Amino acid sequence: MTAAFALALPVLLLAFGQPIFLVFLTAAVVFAFAFLPMIPPEALHTAVFGSLDNFALLAVPLFIYAGDIMARGGIAKRIIELIMTIVGRIRGSLAVATIASASAFGAMSGSSVACVAAIGKLTLPSLEKAGYGRTFSVSMITATGVIDAIIPPSIPMIIYAVTAQQPVNLLFTAGILPGILVAMALSAYVMVRAHVQVIPLGEPMQRAVVWAAFKNSIWALFAPVVILGGIYGGIFTATEAAGIACIYAIVVSVFIYRELSWKELWDITMESSALVGQIMIIVAAAGAYSWLITTSGFPAKLVAFVDGLGLATWSLLLVINIMLLFVGSVLEPPAAILLLTPLLTPIANKAGIDPIHFGLIVCVNLAVGMFMPPFGLNLFASNALFRTPLPSLYRGVTPFLIIYMGLLVLITYVPAITLWPLQMMR
């Protein structure tokens, strides 16, 4: 009865359209007073603020801020221009360049919506002009934007690491190969699609043009080198890397490229702060709810129940994947991770699933959910940014959804894809 109430109340509040932070906070307060009267109110207050008292969590607002500056300060634009000059004269080169640009942007920022906005505004006019069609172009940008949730640094990975108490740098390392596989699979599809549509060939690669674009983007290219090189080289932590990324982005955008004025930088700061505030209030409220669920002993009972079903590991992973896809299609990744991680990680541990591998399964599922019809966050972002009707987007993202599903199965049932890079580093 207690467990059913704890899970049913948030679902009921969501059905009535309540804000997600209010859902978690209301559920925590009602659950505490109704079923855990022995817990003093001060403990709930401590759980709310204690959820934010984590050094690794500081990377989230910093990476969001750095990504916004890079998207609007000329760094992302120059990397995209360089990639487009390199791809050269192959059919589908512009679409491949778009995917490569999203992957490169993902190596600098963990914000999927920022990736959709930055990549879309820079590549959509060229894609339409090349004959790809608006629906296909916007759908590709929508689906490609979620690579940011898989390629490190990834905000969902950071939040999972904090919630599941796993090292952030190990999750980042485990995400390298899955991110590359996603980019390669999407590139192969768009090239085949370009041949079927007989898209005109791109401009042949010219050394002079590439060299000019390279010189123009040299400072932009150092951004992922500084961020990822510092993390994997053991020079600084992921949180410190996020802070350095912010400083680097400001220096390059304001003083070197001079594409941002101090007023524009202040506007970006305010916009990023508003987004960070939304995420952090969800983290605080969900932290209190998760703490109460754990204190009640429900996760242990859930593990015992699942263990009693006698499910094989493959069938357990199938059930978890279906659940994550469903939740990811209606909730933003941070909220979904905060809600489900305390419940699912004990089950995964009991089944002998590596916690780092399980973290990638969670993040990939929620990345797919971000553009899964009908409620995926990226669908609404693209609808607002590019004025593409949602029914058209639903049809357009379907082929990309099938590709992601196939890769999700591969990543889930072949742990070496996520764990091999860790073994190589060790």
- Residue 238: count other Cβ atoms within 10 Å of its Cβ: 27
> Rounded distance, CA 366 to CA 168, Å?
18
Whole-number pLDDT of residue 359: 94
Mean pLDDT score, 36-42: 73
Band the pLDDT of 62: cuts 50, 70, 90: confident
Q: Classify the C-alpha dihedral 46-48-51-52 as positive or negative.
A: negative
Closest CA to 186 of 123, 88, 97, 84: 97
Whole-number pLDDT of residue 224: 80
Higher local confidence (pLDDT), 310 or 345: 345
Whole-number pLDDT of residue 2: 60
Whole-number pLDDT of residue 110: 58
Is 0.75 topped by the overall pTM? Answer: yes
Whole-number pLDDT of residue 111: 64
DSSP structural state of residue 203: P
* 52-56, 147-151, 183-187, 213-217: range with lowest mean pLDDT: 52-56
Mean pLDDT score, 105-112: 66
* 146-150, 181-185, 279-283, 411-415: range with lowest mean pLDDT: 279-283
Q: Give 195-228 pLDDT, tens digit per residue.
A: 887 777 666 777 888 888 888 889 988 888 888 7
Higher local confidence (pLDDT), 202 or 319: 319
Whole-number pLDDT of residue 357: 94
Residue 355 has which token pair? 């916690």
Percentage helix, strand, coil for the chain under 3-state DSSP, each rounded to 5: 80, 0, 20
The answer to whether 407 and 178 are in contact (CB under 8 A) is yes
The answer to whether 368 and 326 are in contact (CB under 8 A) is no
Whole-number pLDDT of residue 6: 62
Whole-number pLDDT of residue 34: 74
Q: What is the greatest pairwise CA distance in the chain?
A: 73
Whole-number pLDDT of residue 263: 92
Q: Give 330-363 pLDDT, tens digit per residue.
A: 777 887 888 888 888 888 888 889 999 999 999 9
pLDDT exceeding 70 applies to what percent of the chain? 92
Whether the pLDDT of residue 18 is over 70: the answer is: yes
The answer to whether 370 and 378 are in contact (CB under 8 A) is yes
DSSP structural state of residue 56: G
Q: Give 69-96 pLDDT, tens digit per residue.
A: 887 888 878 887 787 788 766 777 888 8
Mean pLDDT score, 229-250: 84
Mean pLDDT score, 263-272: 90
Band the pLDDT of 44: cuts 50, 70, 90: confident
DSSP structural state of residue 17: T
Tell the residue number behind the tokens 């007023």, with chain if given.
263
Q: Give 359-397 pLDDT, tens digit per residue.
A: 999 999 988 988 888 777 778 778 877 888 888 888 999
Angle at 46 between CA 290 and CA 37, to 5 degrees: 70
Whole-number pLDDT of residue 83: 79
Whole-number pLDDT of residue 10: 73
Whole-number pLDDT of residue 235: 83
- Residue 343: count other Cβ atoms within 10 Å of its Cβ: 17
Mean pLDDT score, 298-305: 69
Whether the pLDDT of residue 1 is over 60: the answer is: no
Whole-number pLDDT of residue 43: 75
